[in-house]
Structure 1
Amino acid sequence: MPAAIVMSAAEVCADSPLMRHLQQYQLRGGLVIVRLRAEDLVVPADDTLQLVPDILVFDDTLTARQVPFGAFTARRTLYGPWMTGKLSTFHSTTFQPNTVSTRHLLRCLPNLAPGLYRRVQPELDLLLRDHQVLRRTFGELFSPSLLRVICAAGFVEHDVTVHGHYVSTGTRRLFDGIGGVACSLRGHNPEAWPDELRGLADGCIRSELGLRLRALTGLPRYVPAVSGAGAIEAALRMALTVQFPRTHVIIMRGGYAGKTLVALTGTERQKYRERLGPLYPHRICIDPFAVDACEQLQQAVRDFPVAAIQLELIQGVGGVRAVPAEVLESVATVSETAGVCVIVDEIQTGMHRTGPFVRTSQTPLRPDFLVLGKGTSDMLFPFALTMYSERVHERLQRLGSGLPDRMQELYGYETGYRGVLNTLQRWEQQPVQSQVETAGALYSRYLSQGLQMHPRVSEVRVFGLLIGIELNVRHTLTARLGLKPAQLYLLRMMQHRRFPLLMGYCQYEPQILKFTPPLTVTEAEIKASAEAIADALSTSQPRLLGCGLQSLLRSRR
């Protein structure tokens, strides 16, 4: 018996013998998944009582296909496991911090389904008025673990607003050193952005964008996506298509490629793959930092029908570590001699984050695919790009593959294209690469001065404005008590008196802090944030323990 049956809402509402069979199927443990489109929201409620779906999936017809949107809801028995433990943070890092999709849904809903909107409007209004109700609903329906973090940080009592380089809540203003996971280029909500997009000439947006991207990356073709994971998935699908019957993908230990089913091919850690499937089975994992990494790579290509090698130049989630130059040389050689496709993930390193537009330009690699993430639109719109070579394009053409056209059809949002073009045009007006390199050098100097003799800091790694600080906290008092010292230090940074700031950490190695400020950070902000980081990391263990207990009490209120 299949685990699930996917149907449209029209099929569920139809009066047919199929409904009885589906109800029996549910009684035997099967799941019925129903896709709801905008037009299905106006169906009278009585028509849907013939079958109660286990899972409802909503698509971007609810936002009039103007903005990416996707969501699901499910029976409590199914949804419950996603709200506990590790899976409670299994949310998209594209859509979680980006409100444009949700806000546009609320703007479209009154026109698409006025009856439904009238029924839910009182609840929506209450959420906007009452923080206690908002807090409870957020924890019950979205993420209890994220709610605990918000409470511990003291963000739960007030509305949170963002502007420029800062996040504000109540009377507090914090410097944003996370920036949507390395994707904020010039800060939040630039006021001129809507007018800048409207001012772009109609009719040639996509072709002009293609010419500019080709000049910057050397790759002449691209397809859109709505997240980094989606762009990785596009690259893998096209690579496996043009390389058939080759089947295997080489990935790097410590790599992270997202959480969609195909993108999980390149996500190395098992905790993100548990209880999900079917996942792509033909992957070979190589440790790029092993002494024999190059030999492992060459041996894998000899032993298996390798279609593609997928890698990040700097592993952002895996510790802010650069893949060694000799490994990149070996990848380039294997690609040339064995005809293996190379997929370079520049989601965190591209868009000038480490200095050049793409870091690949400073390596021997000539990738067949290059992936850029949501930094393409300066984090203002959920959009990403998969660049690919003319060789790949010609093979797809010979095969008669419709993959690129299908991706353009699904994800080709006009605002997304305009957002990327706007970003590129703005960068032409200023020497971004030199600015980022100068800012990185300043951070390297100030952090070295503040942390060079620090007993808890093992290493500071600075790549432009992608910065990792590795802590040695395993034997500290807070660690022995079962707490997470690195996260307590992050709380101390948020509480800094002179320059409070937000900072992240590497999910694979949480003892490594990750700092990704906006590319337009000023020298004064660099100096102040470096001092605040050094001050916070100098907090004594007893005081850090008090900070943790205080935050714990806030999260339990």
Structure 2
Amino acid sequence: MLTEPQSAVGAYARHVNPAFVKLLGLLGYGRVFTRALDVWLWDDAGRRYLDALAGFGTFNLGHNHPRLARRLQAFLGEEAVQLSHTAPSAHAARCAKALAARVPAPLEVALFATGGAEAVEAAVKLARAATGRTGVLSCAGAFHGLGLGTLSLMDASRFREPFEPLLPGCERVPFGDVGALARALATRRHAAFIVEPIQAEHGVQTPPAGYLAEAQALCRRHGTLFVLDEIQTGLGRTGALFAHARAGVVPDALVLGKALGGGVAPVAVTLTSAAIHGRAFGTLRRFDLHGSTFAGYALGCAAALETLAILDEQHLVEAAAERGAELRDGLRRRLAGHPRVAEIRGEGLLVGVELRMPAAAGGRSLGGLFGQWIALQMLECGVVCQPAAHRWDVLKLEPPLTITAGEIDDLVDTLVTVLDEYRDVPRFVADVTRRLGRQFLAGWAFP
């Protein structure tokens, strides 16, 4: 153990994020996790938790996959050139080739990054440089990252307002509304339309059938690049290697991240065609207009290559489809007609449980508070999960793709048991009030 748990909490509160530690003490959510393996986490008291959050879709392979760990340990002993800025990198080349073999033609050129937000901003730069336009279109409810450029693509005021003004020329249309998209694109001022196949952080929202295909056709008609953000949905999460495959579309740029490094190495990528890349960066004057110090670094590429191999050889994409169906079917069967559940939706192992809670006196919604409370109750029953970032009334379940059928049954049992405790609204109000009082008397203690 690196340090004693309480010392770690104090140091984190002082040197990293004081408000976060204070928030965890508000209802008693605080835990210090000290170990992780496969679908399990352990805290400093030795308690074990099923991880149904998986780093917002980062740990598709589970935590510390043994095969990935062995490969990276061996790789570090190979004395590889980690960064190669004055010569081609064999590691980046192999990784890009492996990715190109798994995506639809003509996507074959990789712009590497170390995080999803950086990769989305690479797509924005690519589109502006390739089209000569400055506008960027995205969807209401989207989540593309918290950098200044990616915040410009989102409409969540809580995230945006402290940093405005943001990137000019960014506009949003309702997710799934073909008419609104057609009207916006008809202005022919947008370099790119950036969209998620499933809006995970807006409550696991899927678009109407045919939406992505119509969006692609509209982009082609109006000279706008069609960019798919699959940072959270890609690499098997939805029961297909890429969520957009079900729609039969081929984007002009595809953005991947999170799970690409196996939950160990930060690596992300924007994949595009040779023609588009050539228009953007294909001259001696422009070849170096995009990049970063660690883009395509050797360790990250080795992690990505091994992650892709594990996904293939352990059939984790197919497993995600099977376990996801078991999860949704189990929840729908056990929670049918439940007064606190409005809908269960999703694809593969990306599942949203929309919660229902009557408004409080004065009309203020209690749905968001209820979502956080249910996440806390799940934690205290040994399951880590969270509501969607933009929709706290939707509990998001996205465990590692390595989860077993038995563990799915346990997850379903736990959520059903927790929700059954709150069929009556007064019980919820009383329990929250009691907990707030207890934490207040304890000085908002972290554990």
TM norm. shorter chain > 0.5: yes
1:484 Cα offset (Å):
1.1
5 Å-filtered alignment, 1:352-367, equals: 352-367=236-251
Counterparts of residues 34-53 of structure 1 (less than 5 Å):
none
Match of 1:379, SS state, is: coil
> In the alignment, does 2:253 pair up with 1:369?
yes
Aligned to 2:335: 451
Deviations 1:479-525, CA, capped at 9 Å, x for gaps: 778981111111111222xxx20111112111011011000100000
Equivalent of 2:235 in 348, 351, 354: 351
Q: Distance in 2 between matches of 1:379 and 1:547?
A: 36
Tell me the distance in 2 between the aligned counterparts of 1:462 and 1:475: 26
Shift of 1:284: 2.1
The one-letter code matched in structure 2 to 1:302 is: A
Q: 2:98 aligns with which of 203, 212, 216?
A: 212
Separation (CA, whole Å) in 1 of partners of 2:40 and 2:31 = 18
| 2:282 is the alignment partner of 1:395 | no
Partner deviation per Cα, 1:275-309 (whole Å, 9 max, x = no partner): 214421102211124xxx22222222222412110
Q: Say whether residues 1:556 and 2:444 are aligned partners.
A: yes
Match of 2:85 in 1: none
> Over alpha carbons, which structure has the higher Rg?
1
Match of 1:251 among 128, 138, 158: 138
Structure 1 portions without partners, runs of 5+: 1-102, 104-124
Letter in 2 for 1:354: T
Match of 2:13 in 1: 139
- Which residue of 2 is the match for residue 55 of structure 1? none
Task: State the shift of 1:270 in Å.
Answer: 2.1
1:336 aligned counterpart, secondary structure: helix
1:161 correspondence with 2:35: yes
Aligned partners of 2:141, 2:232: CA distance in 1, in Å?
Answer: 14
| Bigger RCO (CA 8 Å, 6+ sep) | 2
Residues 312 and 323 in structure 1, CA contact (< 8 A), matched pair in contact too? no
**Can you list the C-alpha shifts for 1:217-243, whole angstroms capped at 9, x where unaligned?**
121011211111111011101111111
Matched, 1:492 2:366: no
**Amino acid in the other structure paired with 2:131:** Q
RMSD: 2.7
* Amino acid in the other structure paired with 2:141: G
Whether 1:523 and 2:408 are equivalent positions in the alignment is no
Q: Is the 8 A contact 1:205 1:421 kept in 2?
A: no
Task: State the 1:409 CA deviation.
Answer: 4.1
Shift of residue 397, structure 1, vs aligned partner? 4.3
The 3 A distance-change label for structure 1 pair 485 and 311 is same
Are residues 1:260 and 2:147 paired?
Answer: yes
- Which structure 2 residues correspond to residues 237-316 of structure 1 after superposition, within 5 A? 237-244=125-132, 246-289=133-176, 293-316=177-200
Identity %: 26
Report the AA paired with residue 344 of structure 1: L
1:129 CA displacement: 4.0
The alpha carbon displacement at 1:545 in A equals 3.9
Residue 349 of structure 2: which of 420, 442, 465 is its match?
465
- Is the 8 Å Cα contact of residues 249 and 283 (structure 1) preserved in structure 2? yes
Structure 1 CA distance, aligned partners of 2:47 and 2:320? 28
Please state how far the C-alpha of 1:354 moved relative to its aligned partner: 0.3
Tell me: CA distance 1:339–1:452, structure 2 relative to 1, closer, same or farther (3 Å). same
Alignment check: 8 A CA contact 2:371 2:392 kept: yes
Q: How many residues align?
A: 424
SS in 2 for 1:407: coil
- CA distance in 1 between counterparts of 2:246 and 2:296 reads 30
Task: Go from structure 1 to structure 2 and tell me whether the alpha carbon gap of 1:287 and 1:401 turns closer, same or farther (over 3 Å shift).
Answer: farther
Cα 1:399–1:324 shift into 2, 3 Å: farther
* CA shift in 2, pair 1:237/1:144, >3 Å: same
Could you tell me how far 1:402 is from its partner in structure 2? 3.9
State the SS of the aligned residue for 2:302. helix
Q: Which runs of 5+ in 2 are unaligned?
A: 81-88
2:115 alignment partner AA: S
1:193 maps to a residue whose letter is: L
Pick one of 159, 166, 179 that aligns with 2:54: 179
Partner of 2:263: 379
Picking from 117, 120, 128, the partner of 1:229 is 117
TM-score (norm 2): 0.87
Q: Distance in 2 between matches of 1:237 and 1:455?
A: 47
Q: Is the 8 A contact 1:473 1:479 kept in 2?
A: no
Residue 376 of structure 1, CA deviation: 0.2
**Separation in structure 2 between the aligned mates of residue 373 and residue 196 of structure 1, nearest angstrom:** 20
Post-superposition Cα deviations, 1:368-388, rounded to whole Å, max 9, x if no partner, equal: 111111210122122211111
Secondary structure of 2:221's match? Answer: helix
Which range moves more in the overlay, 346-355 or 214-223? 214-223
CA distance in 2, matches of 1:284, 1:480: 28
Letter in 2 for 1:484: L
Look up the equivalent residue of 1:506 and give its one-letter code: A
Q: TM-score, normalised on structure 1?
A: 0.71
Distance (whole Å) between structure 1 residues aligned to residue 267 and residue 128 of structure 2: 23
1:325 Cα deviation from its structure 2 partner = 2.8
Q: 2: CA distance between counterparts of 1:215 and 1:158?
A: 41
The whole-number CA distance in structure 1 between the counterparts of 2:93 and 2:264 is 22
